[in-house]
Structure 1
Amino acid sequence: MTPEALARSRIDTRLEQAGWVVQDMKQLNLGAGPGVAVREYPTDSGPADYVLFVDRRPVGVIEAKRDEAGEHITMVESQTERYAGAALKWRSDNAPLPFLFEATGTLIRFTDNRDPAPRSRELFHFFQPAQLKDWLEQSETLRTRLRSAMPPLPTENLRDCQINAVTGLEASLAHNHPRALIHMATGAGKTFTAITAAYRLLKFGGAKRILFLVDTRNLGKQAHQEFIAFQPPDDGRKFTELYNVQRLAGPNIDPAARVCISTIQRMYSILSGEPIDDSAEDISLNELQQTDAQQKLVRYNPAIPVETFDFIVIDECHRSIYNLWKQVLDYFDASLVGLTATPDKRTYGFFNQNIVAEYTYEQSVTDGVNVGYDVYLIETELTKKGATIAAREWIDHRDRQTRSRRWAQTDEDTAYTGTELDRSVVNPDQIRTVIKAMKTAIETEIFPERRETPKTLIFAKTDSHADDIVQIVREVYGQGNAFCRKVTYSEKDADGVLQNFRNEYHPRIAVTVDMIATGTDVKPLEVLLFMRDVRSRGYYEQMKGRGVRSLDGDRLKRVSASAPGAKSRFVLIDAVGVEKSLKTESRPLERKPGVPLKALLQGVAVGSRDDDTVLSLGNRLVRLAKQLDARTLARLAELADGRTVGQLGKTLVEALNPDRHVEAALATAAAQGITRSEDTLTGEELAAARSTLVAQACQPFDQPELRDALESARRDLEQLIDHVNPDDLLYKGFSEQAEAQARETIRRFADTLAEHRDELDALTFFYQQPFQRRALTIEMIEALHDHLARPPLLLTTERLWSAYARVQGSKVRGADLRRQLTDLVSLVRFALGLADELRPFADEVDRRFQDWTFRHNARRTTAFTPEQMEWLRLMKDHIAASCSITREDFDYAELASRGGLQKAWQVLGGELDTLMKEMNEELVA
Structure 2
Amino acid sequence: MDKKSLSERDICSKYITPAIERAGWHLLTQVREEVNITKGRVIVTTGTKPKRAEPRFADYILYYKPNIPVAVIEAKDNNHSVGAGMQQALGYAELIDVPFVFSSNGDAFLFHDKTGQSSVIEQELSLDAFPSPEVLWNSYCVLKGINSETSKIVTQDYFDDGSGKTPRYYQIIAINRTMEAIAKGQRRILLVMATGTGKTYTAFQIIWRLWKAGSAKRILFLADRNILVDQTKTNDFKPFGKAMTKITNRKIDKSYEIYLSLYQAITGTEDIQNIYKEFSPDFFDLVVIDECHRGSAAEDAAWRDILTYFNSAIHIGLTATPKETEYVSNTNYFGEPIYTYSLKQGIEDGFLAPYRVIRIDLDKDLAGWRPEKGKRDLYGQEIEDRIYYQKDFDNNLVLTKRTELVAKKVSDYLKKTDPYDKTIIFCENIDHAERMRQSLVNENSQEVLKSERYVVRITGDSPEGKAELDNFIMPDSRYPVIATTSKLMSTGVDAQTCKVIVLDKSIESMIEFKQIIGRGTRINEEYNKYFFTIIDFRKATERFADPEFDGDPIQDPDFDPRTGSGGTGGGEPPHPPPDPPEPSNSRKYVVKDVEVSVVAERVQYYGPDGRLITESLKDYTRKNVIKSYATLDDFLTQWTASERKTAIIEELQQHGVLFDALAEEVGRDLDPFDLICHVAYGQPKMTRRQRADRVKKAKYFAEFGDQARAVLISLLDKYADEGVENLESIDVLKVDPFPSFGTPIEIVKGIFGSKSNYLATLHRIEQCLYNPASC
- Normalised TM-score (structure 2): 0.61
Q: For 1:482, what is the secondary structure of its paired residue?
A: helix
1:577 aligns with 2:503: no
Aligned-residue offset at 1:167: 3.2
Q: 2:473 aligns with which of 502, 525, 538?
A: 502
Q: 1:219 aligns with which of 225, 228, 243?
A: 228
Percent identity, please: 21
Cα distance change of structure 1 residues 546 and 152 upon mapping to structure 2, 3 Å threshold: closer
Amino acid at match of 2:507: V
Amino acid at match of 2:194: A
1:809 aligns with 2:677: no
Q: For 1:363, what is the secondary structure of its paired residue?
A: helix
* 1:181–1:355 Cα contact (<8 Å) kept: yes
Q: For 2:361, what is the secondary structure of its paired residue?
A: strand
Aligned to 1:917: 760
Q: 2:628 aligns with which of 753, 773, 777?
A: 753
C-alpha distance in 1 between matches for 2:633 and 2:215: 57
Amino acid at match of 1:749: N
Q: For 1:549, what is the secondary structure of its paired residue?
A: coil
Amino acid at match of 2:382: T
Deviations 1:1-56 (A, max 9, x none): xxxxxxxxxxxxxxxxxxxxxxxxxxxxxxxxxxxxxxxxxxxxxxxxxxxxxxxx
* 2:297–2:575 Cα contact (<8 Å) kept: no
C-alpha distance in 2 between matches for 1:546 and 1:315: 17
Q: For 1:227, what is the secondary structure of its paired residue?
A: coil
* 2:197–2:351 Cα contact (<8 Å) kept: yes
1:353 aligns with 2:336: yes
Q: For 1:740, what is the secondary structure of its paired residue?
A: coil
Bigger RCO of structures 1 and 2 (CA < 8 A, at least 6 apart): 2
* 2:288–2:317 Cα contact (<8 Å) kept: yes
Deviations 1:833-863 (A, max 9, x none): 5997799xxxx79986995799766212443
* 1:904–1:912 Cα contact (<8 Å) kept: no
C-alpha distance in 2 between matches for 1:427 and 1:145: 65
Aligned-residue offset at 1:743: 6.2
C-alpha distance in 2 between matches for 1:410 and 1:863: 80
Aligned-residue offset at 1:538: 1.6
Counterparts of 1:505-524 in structure 2 under 5 Å?
Answer: 505-524=478-497
Aligned to 1:546: 519
C-alpha distance in 2 between matches for 1:878 and 1:527: 27
1:775 aligns with 2:643: yes
* 1:388–1:415 Cα contact (<8 Å) kept: yes
Q: For 1:768, what is the secondary structure of its paired residue?
A: helix
C-alpha distance in 1 between matches for 2:624 and 2:293: 35
Aligned to 1:454: 421
Aligned to 2:590: 721
Aligned-residue offset at 1:320: 1.9
Counterparts of 1:458-537 in structure 2 under 5 Å?
Answer: 458-478=425-445, 480=448, 481-503=452-474, 504-537=477-510
Aligned-residue offset at 1:494: 3.5
C-alpha distance in 1 between matches for 2:186 and 2:674: 50
Amino acid at match of 1:308: F
Amino acid at match of 2:421: P
Deviations 1:860-893 (A, max 9, x none): 2443298999999999999976996799x99xxx
C-alpha distance in 2 between matches for 1:413 and 1:260: 58
Aligned-residue offset at 1:537: 0.7
Cα distance change of structure 1 residues 912 and 724 upon mapping to structure 2, 3 Å threshold: closer
Deviations 1:773-808 (A, max 9, x none): 2634988988x58xx85xxxxx457xx346635xx7
1:430 aligns with 2:402: yes
Larger radius of gyration: 1
1:246 aligns with 2:245: yes
Deviations 1:648-681 (A, max 9, x none): xxxxxxxxxxxxxxxxxxxxxxxxxxxxxxxxxx
Cα distance change of structure 1 residues 856 and 362 upon mapping to structure 2, 3 Å threshold: farther
* 1:317–1:340 Cα contact (<8 Å) kept: yes
* 1:811–1:836 Cα contact (<8 Å) kept: no
Aligned-residue offset at 1:520: 0.8
Cα distance change of structure 1 residues 765 and 157 upon mapping to structure 2, 3 Å threshold: farther
Cα distance change of structure 1 residues 417 and 911 upon mapping to structure 2, 3 Å threshold: closer
* 1:380–1:731 Cα contact (<8 Å) kept: yes
Q: For 1:387, what is the secondary structure of its paired residue?
A: coil
State the aligned residue count: 570
Deviations 1:417-475 (A, max 9, x none): 432222233222221122223334554xxxx343x253221111111221111112212
Aligned to 1:375: 357
* 1:500–1:506 Cα contact (<8 Å) kept: yes
Amino acid at match of 1:474: V
* 2:460–2:466 Cα contact (<8 Å) kept: no
Amino acid at match of 1:546: R
Farther off after superposition, 509-518 or 495-504: 495-504
Amino acid at match of 2:395: R
Aligned-residue offset at 1:505: 2.4
* 1:849–1:923 Cα contact (<8 Å) kept: no
C-alpha distance in 1 between matches for 2:456 and 2:159: 48
Aligned to 1:327: 305
C-alpha distance in 2 between matches for 1:363 and 1:244: 36
Aligned-residue offset at 1:510: 0.7
Counterparts of 1:395-794 in structure 2 under 5 Å?
Answer: 395-397=377-379, 408=380, 410=382, 413=385, 416-443=388-415, 448-450=416-418, 452=419, 454-478=421-445, 480=448, 481-503=452-474, 504-552=477-525, 554-555=526-527, 566-580=528-542, 619-620=580-581, 624=583, 714=584, 716-734=585-603, 738-740=613-615, 742=617, 745-746=620-621, 749-754=624-629, 768=637, 773=641, 775-776=643-644, 784=651
1:313 aligns with 2:288: yes
Aligned-residue offset at 1:516: 0.8
* 1:827–1:838 Cα contact (<8 Å) kept: no
Aligned to 1:262: 261
Aligned to 1:199: 208
Higher helix share: 1
C-alpha distance in 1 between matches for 2:717 and 2:435: 55
Cα distance change of structure 1 residues 180 and 492 upon mapping to structure 2, 3 Å threshold: same
Q: For 2:174, what is the secondary structure of its paired residue?
A: helix
Q: 1:190 aligns with which of 191, 199, 220?
A: 199
Cα distance change of structure 1 residues 354 and 569 upon mapping to structure 2, 3 Å threshold: closer
Aligned-residue offset at 1:372: 2.0
* 1:525–1:546 Cα contact (<8 Å) kept: yes
* 2:639–2:645 Cα contact (<8 Å) kept: no
Q: For 1:510, what is the secondary structure of its paired residue?
A: strand
C-alpha distance in 1 between matches for 2:714 and 2:152: 63
Aligned to 1:160: 169
Counterparts of 1:18-57 in structure 2 under 5 Å?
Answer: none
* 2:645–2:724 Cα contact (<8 Å) kept: no
C-alpha distance in 2 between matches for 1:458 and 1:540: 13
Amino acid at match of 2:304: K
Amino acid at match of 2:637: Q
* 2:621–2:680 Cα contact (<8 Å) kept: no
Aligned to 1:146: 153
Amino acid at match of 1:216: R
Deviations 1:268-309 (A, max 9, x none): 43xx74476xxxxxxxxxxxxxxxxxxxxx8993x3123333
* 2:266–2:276 Cα contact (<8 Å) kept: no
Q: For 1:520, what is the secondary structure of its paired residue?
A: coil
Counterparts of 1:299-310 in structure 2 under 5 Å?
Answer: 301=277, 303-310=278-285
Farther off after superposition, 907-916 or 182-191: 907-916
Aligned to 2:320: 341
Aligned-residue offset at 1:905: 6.9
* 2:499–2:533 Cα contact (<8 Å) kept: yes
Cα distance change of structure 1 residues 317 and 467 upon mapping to structure 2, 3 Å threshold: same
Q: For 1:422, what is the secondary structure of its paired residue?
A: coil
Cα distance change of structure 1 residues 163 and 415 upon mapping to structure 2, 3 Å threshold: same
